[in-house]
């Protein structure tokens, strides 16, 4: 295979990966608290130099680096992907159970059939039993869940439900003018954000090694607000246009390699006097 064709094909594959990533981000432009994903594109040489000392074979070490095929080594590769956890814009809704977190890396905890998951999406509701849940029906956990197994629940006569900046509920009931203290939200901060894995429904699966300690004095809770996606539509569209143009350029390189250069070589071989 011609080296130029291989390099162009590798570059095109990398740009297809970029397009898929950007498309996914744009599809979640209006998803509450969605965090933008991005890719790091480099070349094979950089990837090899970063990993060569970890290879198990003795001859595939620094001494073997001198045999790198230089034409192949510069082929663009997707080296890694990461999630941008920066805050999205906060939108005021005035809804009692719309809750936003004003600090990065803080998460709500919810109980799903697959165990405890984390989310930044605070658009909660009360189910028919008066239990606070996500819109998918997953129960939102209180800070003392691991001690007593209770959930955040309100009786039918609870009114004026308020939430302070640390995530503690209080409410009134008919015939009582004093606020009754309620549960506190289980807010956690993972030790390693990069080890969170998306698991659908805007949820993340935490690393099993994380020892979550409830954060009860975060000062980051805002009732009546929703965090929006941190995807920048303009930057995403510019990135999409750039990737599409690069795909077109790589395609032209491939056409040149496979058609014009081969045709020219065949003509010269067929006509030695040319």
pLDDT tens digits for 109-162? 999 999 999 999 999 999 999 999 999 999 999 999 988 889 999 988 888 999
Helix (H) or strand (E) holding 33: none
> pLDDT at position 134, please?
94
Q: Are 41 and 242 in contact (CB under 8 A)?
A: no
> pLDDT at position 44, please?
59
Q: Give dist(CA 267, CA 24) in Å, integer.
A: 47
**Per-residue pLDDT tens digits for 28-72:** 999 999 999 988 777 655 555 555 555 554 555 555 544 444 444
Alpha carbon separation from 13 to 10, 23, 24, 76, 243 (Å, rounded): 5, 15, 17, 9, 11
Alpha carbon separation from 254 to 12, 78, 250, 261, 265 (Å, rounded): 10, 20, 6, 10, 16
HEC sequence for 94-127: CCCCEEEECCCCCEEEEEECCEEEEECCCECEEC
Task: Name the percent of the chain lying above pLDDT 90.
Answer: 44
3-state DSSP assignment of residue 177: strand
Q: Are 142 and 150 in contact (CB under 8 A)?
A: yes
Report yes or no on whether pTM surpasses 0.85: no
């Amino acid at each position: 295979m011609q080296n130029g064709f291989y390099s162009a094909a590798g570059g095109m594959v990398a740009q297809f990966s970029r397009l898929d990533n950007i498309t996914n981000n744009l599809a979640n432009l209006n998803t509450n608290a969605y965090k933008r994903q991005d890719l790091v594109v480099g070349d094979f040489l950089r990837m090899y130099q970063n990993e060569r000392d970890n290879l198990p074979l003795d001859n595939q070490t620094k001494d073997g680096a001198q045999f790198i095929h230089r034409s192949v080594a510069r082929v663009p590769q997707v080296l890694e992907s990461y999630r941008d956890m920066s805050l999205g814009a906060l939108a005021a809704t005035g809804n009692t159970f719309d809750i936003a977190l004003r600090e990065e890396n803080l998460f709500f905890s919810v109980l799903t059939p697959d165990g405890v998951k984390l989310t930044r999406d605070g658009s909660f509701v009360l189910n028919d039993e008066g239990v606070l849940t996500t819109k998918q029906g997953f129960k939102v956990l209180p800070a003392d869940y691991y001690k007593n197994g209770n959930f955040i629940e309100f009786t039918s006569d609870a009114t004026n439900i308020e939430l302070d900046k640390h995530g503690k509920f209080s409410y009134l009931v008919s015939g009582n003018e004093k606020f009754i203290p309620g549960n506190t939200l289980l807010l956690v901060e993972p030790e390693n954000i990069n080890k969170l894995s998306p698991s659908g429904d805007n949820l993340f699966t935490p690393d099993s090694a994380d020892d979550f300690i409830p954060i009860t004095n975060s000062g980051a809770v805002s009732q009546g607000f929703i965090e929006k996606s941190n995807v920048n539509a303009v930057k995403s569209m510019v990135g999409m246009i750039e990737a599409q143009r690069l795909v077109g350029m790589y395609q032209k390189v491939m056409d040149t390699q496979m058609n014009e250069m081969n045709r020219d070589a065949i003509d010269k071989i067929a006509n030695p006097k040319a």
